[in-house]
Structure 1
Amino acid sequence: MIRASRSAPCRRSPSRRRLILRSAAVRLLPLLVLAVALLQRPWPCRASAPEHAAAGYTEPAIEASLDRSPAAFGTRITLTLHYRLPAGASLPTPLRISGLEGLSECSRRVEADRITLIFLVDHLDTWQTGPLRLEYEDADGTVQTLSAPPVSAEVLSVLGDKPEEAQPRPIADIIPGRAAWVKALPWAAGALALTALVAGLVWWLGKRRYRDIAADVLPPPHIRALTDLQALDASGLYESGAVKAFYFRFSEVVRRYMEDIRGFPAAEMTTEEIARQPLSTLDRDLLPLLRQADLAKFAGHRPTPAAKEAALESVRGYIHQTSPAPEAAP
């Protein structure tokens, strides 16, 4: 009996454990269902990030910063605009940035994620931009705007930390400068004058030497003129009808002889220019012959054979009268 009473509780203990487990399972079942439901639910924060990354989406933004503050007056300051554009967006050309009105821009450089602008600090007290706006075009071609607040920098005075104690000097007049070529102008003028003097001397010596050689080699002017007249008379130009050619050569012989003995360029002058020269009476007697030759050369006038012979004889007489006297035999 005693054994029977002890063994009965032992047989009931498994059932009691089952009841306890079953009760615990019933209590935990709602929690398990809730946990499974929460695990199967998509979380927006964790799921949207991969989707945005897969779609290449970037939230547009812009941030402005200066390289230093304060900045000294008259120096340069750098403004950097860091920007982010959505996928497919681009900056227009030319770049459109507002808020920089009234500032002295020196240069700008556009990169993939930033725009670097360099300005001259020419404002007193404070150098400051306006509200910054950067325009861009999205993937659809629509113009959008990125905005950033103004940036500023304190401007240091050129008078130092205590401008009230500074004693600036008055502005002096601008000293006029002289160009380098102005300084060299007197030397250039002197060199040019020296060159002209040397050239003139060489020309004069050459001309004098030519005259000396010509006097030694060439026959005297009167001999050459008489020889040319004889050759012209024997050429038969007048008799063959070439009256104009005859009088061209006749006028040339007379003018060249007059140039040789009188010293003025008669061969290059017109008859009227020769008439205005200081001529002797013998020289002026030749002017009617030269005018007659001009009529034959340019007006088609045909002098008679007698007039032609008279002109030849008059020139021969003029040459004999103006030629130097023959030297007396020793």
Structure 2
Amino acid sequence: MKNNYFIIIIVILFILVADYSFPAGIIADDDYGVRAEFIQGKAVPGDIVTLRLKFKIPPGFKLPENPEIAGLNGFDIVKKRTMTDGIDIDIFVDRMDDLHLTALEIYLYNKKGGQKALKSNPVVLFVKPKIIVKPTENLLRPVKGIISSGYGLKKVLLIVFSAICIILAAIAAYYYFIKYRRNKKSGPAAPVLPPHIKALNRIDSLVLSGIPDRYERRSFCFILSEILREYVKGIRGFNALEMTVDEIANVVKEKDDIKLLGVLKKMDLVKFADNFISASSLEEQVGLSRAYINKTKPEEI
């Protein structure tokens, strides 16, 4: 009987040790040639997160200058950096749901052209949507009892109110007279264009002479960013021209607006960090800008 108890205790200890050694949802590193992990524990839409891939290159093989990594389709890759023991990949978070990366594959080559694939473990990054909490409106407290309501005070208030009304009437008459004379001299005012037509016209004028050379692309990005921010201000009602990308991300809720954050982020990297942007990438950003405007413009009646 004592032997049976001893065996049961040994089995329970083995199960506990196994659970602590390999927690649920974690796969042993030995099953994969690449260990994948996100540097950040969590993110919100608009962030740039880093995916780190660690691995050892087998003898006789080497990693190309532009590594081939399968399994990243559908993700907005900002930059890749090759290190001695792996690769860091910056990814722009353009969605409100979690980033699920299934097993990735990195391809290595030997001198004879032979190919070898290293497989990574699946990895998940939790994305927390930003929720805007409406602040409680401040209420004015009643002033009854603070000011005396006697006849003398009422008479004074009536005189003050009458004087204010006369002054406001004089200002309104003067403003109307000036505006009437100005309109009479200049003729009818030009019609105000809808935000989407104005934005598309400005983009057409911007790219009329083609994509600029490398040294003028920074000013090009300044103008394109201003056009998009002015358009967002026109359709969403908040002043995007005076806000950073992170501040805009705190306000927008539509998926199309969240995707636009990627374009604004890349424009800011060129504007303020003087990052290099190729002509093809700049053409792609112009195309994404036009697509966003056409998708979010008001429906024609």
Normalising by structure 2, we get a TM-score of 0.38
* Higher helix proportion: 1
Normalising by structure 1, we get a TM-score of 0.35
